């Protein structure tokens, strides 16, 4: 459960950064997950909540489920994200709402993948193998793949 807390905190940090970029000229950055329930309070529920204005968790086992952040307004429209957790690991960030049209969609097409990469590190993305620009034999030690290889041994 502690892992979950840390994962959601880092997610919140990522979104804060994202919105900080988007709200450069007005408003203070807020986190879409800042109001999400703490994992201890996120008891598994049989009825997934779809209420957009409050955090909700659904799922069958502790350490697994979907944690939905609050909908927040940005200068480009409402944004809401959901953290998907499995076996105590953060496995995905799903964007439930994003803004569309004109300038907004252009910005989001840039911003949303950045948001994802803030959250998905080797430890919490539950990945088996890493594809990337070729690393040298010297650079391997610092690569994500090296971390996975070490974990597998």
Partner 1 sequence: MRTATATVMGTVVSLAVPDTVKATVLGAAADAAFGWLRHVDEVFSPFRPDSPISRIRDGRLPLSAVDGCPDGPEIREVLALCEELKQDSDGAFDAWAVGDPPGFDPCGAVKGWATERAGELLTEHGLTRHTLNAGGDVRLRVGEEDRTPWRVGLTDPHRPGTVLTVLTVRDGAVATSGTAERGAHVFNPSSGRRATALAQVTVTGPDLARADGYATAALALADGPHGAAAARDWLNDLAERTGYQALTVDPSGATWWTADLAALLPARTERG
Binding mask 85-104 for partner 1 (x = CB under 8 A): -------x-xxx-x------
Lookup result for tokens 């974990």: 151
CA distance 55 to 47: 13
CA distance 145 to 127: 10
Site residues for partner 1, 19-58, by CB under 8 A, read: none
Cβ neighbour number for residue 121 with a 10 Å cutoff = 14
Site residues for partner 1, 132-151, by CB under 8 A, read: 132-137, 139-140, 142, 144-146, 148-149
Least distance in angstroms from the C-beta of 41 to partner 1: 26
| Sign of the dihedral through C-alpha 57, 62, 65, 71 | positive
Give the interface segment with partner 1, choosing from 44-52, 53-61, 71-79, 127-135 (CB under 8 A): 127-135
Task: Write out the two tokens for 52.
Answer: 């957009």
Least distance in angstroms from the C-beta of 46 to partner 1: 22
Main-chain phi, psi angles of 83, to 5 degrees: -95, 125
Interface residues with partner 1 (CB under 8 A) are: 92, 94-96, 98, 108-110, 112-114, 116-118, 120-122, 125-137, 139-140, 142, 144-146, 148-149, 152-153
């Amino acid at each position: 459960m502690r892992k979950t807390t840390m994962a959601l905190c880092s997610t919140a940090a990522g979104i804060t950064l994202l919105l900080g970029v988007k709200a450069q000229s007005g408003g203070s950055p807020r986190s879409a997950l800042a109001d999400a329930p703490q994992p201890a309070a996120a008891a598994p529920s049989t009825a997934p909540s779809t209420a957009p204005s409050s955090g909700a968790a659904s799922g069958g086992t502790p350490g697994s489920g979907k944690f939905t952040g609050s909908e927040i307004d940005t200068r480009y429209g409402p944004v809401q994200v959901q953290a998907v957790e499995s076996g105590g690991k953060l496995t995905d960030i799903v964007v439930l709402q994003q803004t569309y049209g004109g300038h907004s969609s252009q910005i989001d097409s840039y911003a949303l993948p950045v948001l994802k990469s803030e959250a998905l590190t080797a430890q919490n993305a539950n990945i088996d193998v890493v594809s990337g620009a070729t690393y040298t034999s010297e650079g391997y030690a610092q690569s994500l793949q090296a971390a996975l290889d070490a974990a597998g041994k």
